[in-house]
Chains A and B, each alone.
Chain A
Amino acid sequence: MVVDDDRVTRTVVSTILGMEEQYHVLEAENGREALEIAHVARPGLMILDVAMPELDGFGVCKAIREDPELAAMQVLILSGRGDKRDRDLARQMGADAYLTKPFTSVGLVEVVRQMAGE
């Protein structure tokens, strides 16, 4: 599932992964919606933008790790800032991987494949 309040980036990610036959991609516009959908659809991987209003990507990641039903889910953090603080924070919040925008589709697919153990 890809979670980003920016429609353009959300669509780019969803399009890139959607071209891979093995993935079915869900979308959410914000952190709260993401958690609601995750409870029902149980995606294997959550791709989270950092900068979102209300509940940001780190917050969603933390909530996932603290929720026994969702804790096993893989989390990939997408950040617009390539600074070390974001990367460290992502690790602290329990994210499995971290990618800086702008990313290439090849880079994105590679990270997602690694996370899926392919």
Chain B
Amino acid sequence: MGERDEVAEDQLLTYARELNRVFRSERALTAELDDQTRRLHAANLAAVRTLALVVGARDEAARTHLERTVDLALRLTDRIDPPLARDGSLGCAFLLHDIGEMAIPEAILRKPGPLTPDEWEVMRTHPEIGARILADMEFLGDAIEVVRSHHERWDGDGYPEGLAGEDIPLGARIFSVCDAFDAMTSDRPYRGALPFEHAVEEILTGSGTQFDPEVVKAFGDLVAELPTLRGGPAQG
């Protein structure tokens, strides 16, 4: 190799080493930024969680119901659409689904018996109010639609918009199954908890009418595999 080639090679090596150093420091910076973003996100989630528990969990029973429902809904989402489950904003929306109940009078919320048509009218405003309350939380993104649509039904008979089928966001279709299931297996002011198997049966019966058949199928597979859920009616 001639002297000139050596000079050129030296120059190229020098440049390559320099690029390598730049690349490494850039990678370190990116890692640090990722780490900070993760922490910020975790702080956001913690704040949302606190907010959700303060608002949605008026007592221990409500808190247990909320946490169990969210946990179940996230497991079910992970089965149906894993990337959606990993998006932290969905879990936030699940936790906050009933935040609109803040605006519903206590007398209606805790009424120990069936609601009158007028009271139902008021009660049915809570998903829309919830979505409006959360509208400024940009990091929730599309997950806000889960709050708005968690009382929609697959057959279009739900509220607030009467959406049907896949017009209802997937997160909301999943959540409504889990919410109904946990409500049935919990004691309510006007009735006791249904037995576990009975509640599962009710969900399966709602396939194609109240619930998305695909979601119900995945739900059936999930509860069959979950030993913690099979121990009989849940308390709370």
Which A residues lie at the B interface, using CB under 8 A?
6, 8-9, 12, 16, 51, 80, 101-106
Contacts and interface: CB of A to CB of B under 8 A. Distances in A.
Interface residues of B, number: 12
Contacts of B11: 8-9, 12, 101-103
B10 interface: yes
A4 to B, nearest CB: 9
B3 A80 contact: yes
A80 B12 CA distance: 13
Nearest to A106: B18
Contact of B18 (A80, A101, A104): A104
Q: Which of B3, B7, B10, B13 has the most chain A CB atoms inside 10 A of its CB?
A: B7
Given A6-B4, A80-B4, A80-B7, A104 B12 contact: no
B13 to A, nearest CB: 7
Given A6-B4, A103-B14, 4 more contacts: A8-B11, A101-B7, A101-B11, A102-B11
The secondary structure that dominates the B interface is helix
Interface of B: 3-4, 7-15, 18
B1 to A, nearest CB: 13
Contacts of A103: 11, 14
Nearest to A5: B4
A104 B14 CA distance: 7
A21 to B, nearest CB: 17
Contacts of B15: 12, 16, 102, 104-105
A80 B11 CA distance: 9
A28 to B, nearest CB: 17
